[in-house]
Amino acid sequence: MAKNRNVIDALPRPVVTLLSSLVAILLALGICGLLLLVTGKDPIAAYRTILETGLTGNKLLEMLKRSTPLMLSASAVAIGFKMNLFNIGVEGQYLFAALIAAEFASRISAPPVLHVLLTLMVASAAGAFWASIAAMLKVTRGINEVISTIMLNFISLSVMQWLFDNYMRDDSDGGLRVTTTEIAPSGQVPDIVDGRLNGVWLVALFVVFCYWLIVFRSKFGFRLRSSGLNSSAAQTSGIAANRMIVVAMLLSGAIAGLVAMQSVVGEEYAYGPQATPTGFGFAGIAVALLGRNHPVGIVAAAMLFGFLDSTSAVLQLSGIPNSIVKVIQAVVVLTVVIVNEATARYMNRRTAEQTAAALRADKVGA
C-alpha cells in the first residue's frame, strides 16, 4: 500500500487528473450496469452495442458533429463558472440568438464568407444582449443571476414565439415547413465530410481555443479567475467586481449565441421551433462540469457526450432503452465531480507535504 502511494505520489498532476477521470467513468459505467441488471437487461450486451456501433467511422463523425453545440455551450457556461457566475440561461440565449441570426441571414445578401461571418456576429450579439439583461439586473439591483437567467429562459421562449409567429415565420411553401425563410447559399456553411460533419465544428474548436486564450492567458482572464477564486481579495486589489460581472456575462452570452449555429447555417439553413435543437444550454452545464472548465476537458467531455448520444438510436433497435445513454451521462457527471473532489484533496495534501519536505531538505542542505 505504501509503495502504491509512492507510485501515485510521483505521477505528474495531469496524469493524476486523467487517471481520476477514467476511474470516474468506469465507476459510472459500473453503476449504470447495475441499473441495467436490476431492470432485467444485460449490461454487457448494452455496452458492447454502444462500443461496436459507436466505434465505426460514421458514428465517430456523428460524435464530432454532436460535440459542436456541446463545446460551445460548455465554453459559455465555463466562462461564468470561472468567476463563480452561474449562467443557467445559455438555453434561452442560444435559441433567441438562433432566431435573430437566422432571420438576419435570410434577409441580407452578401458574398459567401462575409455572409456567414456577419451571421455569426449577429448570433453572438443577440446572445450577449439576452445575457446582458441578467448582468444588468445583478449589477444594478443585486439579483442573483441563477434566478434571473432561469426565468429569462422562459421569457426568451415567449418572446421568440411572438416574434416568430408574427414577424419571422415563412409560410410560402404552404406551411409544411415551419421555419424562418431559408438562408441563401452564400450564407450556408459547407460540410467537411458530406452529410456527416459540418464546418461549424471547426468554429466550435476555434471558440474553445479562444476560451483558453482569454481565460488562461490574458489579463482579463487573470482578473476573471481571481474574482472567482477570491472575490474579496480581487476587489481589495482593485479589480472592479461589477465590471467583471458584466464583461464575463456578455462573453458568456456571446459564445452561447453560437450554440445552434451548426443547425442554422450548416443544416437547416433556418430557424424553426421544431427544426432547431433544444436542451444544449443545460447539457453544456454538465459538459463544463465534466471538463472541469478546462478547454481540453471541455473538448474531451463534449466528445464523450457526443459519442454516447450517437449510439442511442442503435440501442433502441436492440431492445435496450436508449434513455440509458442519458443516465450514463448524468451518472458520469456525478462520479467525475465526486472523484475530482477527492483527487483535489489528495493533490492539495500532496502539494503541502512536498512543499514541507522541500523546505526541510533545504534547511538540512544549508
User: In this complex, which beta carbon is closest to another protein, that of residue 88 or of residue 289?
Assistant: 289
Stated as kind and residue range, the H or E segment containing 103 is: helix 90-107
Determine the Cα–Cα distance for residues 255 and 90; give it in Å rounded to an integer. Answer: 9
Place of cell 452561474: 86
What CA–CA distance (Å, rounded) separates 266 from 190? Answer: 7
353 binding another protein? (CB under 8 A): yes
List the one residue from 57, 142, 174, 238 that touches another protein (CB under 8 A): 238
- Note whether 224 and 215 are within 8 A (CB): yes
14-22, 106-114, 224-232, 293-301 -> range binding another protein (CB under 8 A)? 224-232
Q: What backbone phi and psi angles, to 5 degrees, belong to 191?
A: -80, 150
CB of 82 to another protein, least distance (A): 12
CB of 106 to another protein, least distance (A): 36
**CA-based end-to-end distance of the chain:** 33
Nearer to another protein, 221 or 306 (CB): 221
Among 109, 237, 318, 323, binds another protein (CB under 8 A): 237
What is the C-alpha separation between 26 and 29, in angstroms, rounded?
A: 5
Total number of residues that touch another protein (CB under 8 A): 30
Nearest of 190, 185, 177, 181 to residue 106 by alpha carbon: 181
Question: Rounded distance, CA 166 to CA 103, Å?
Answer: 13
Q: How many residues belong to the chain?
A: 366
Cα–Cα dist 249/79, whole Å: 8
For another protein, give the closer residue by CB, 56 or 237.
237
Decide: is 11 part of the binding site for another protein (CB under 8 A).
Answer: no
144 touches another protein by CB under 8 A: no
Q: Is 171 in the site for another protein (CB under 8 A)?
A: no
Closer residue to another protein, CB minimum distance, 176 or 366:
366
Q: Which of 6, 14, 167, 362 binds another protein (CB under 8 A)?
A: 362
Q: Which of 36, 50, 71, 234 binds another protein (CB under 8 A)?
A: 234
**Taking CB under 8 A as the criterion, which residues in 292-351 touch another protein?**
348-349, 351
CA-only gyration radius of the chain, Å: 23
Residue ranges binding another protein (CB under 8 A)? 217-223, 225-226, 229-230, 232-240, 348-349, 351-353, 355-356, 358-359, 362
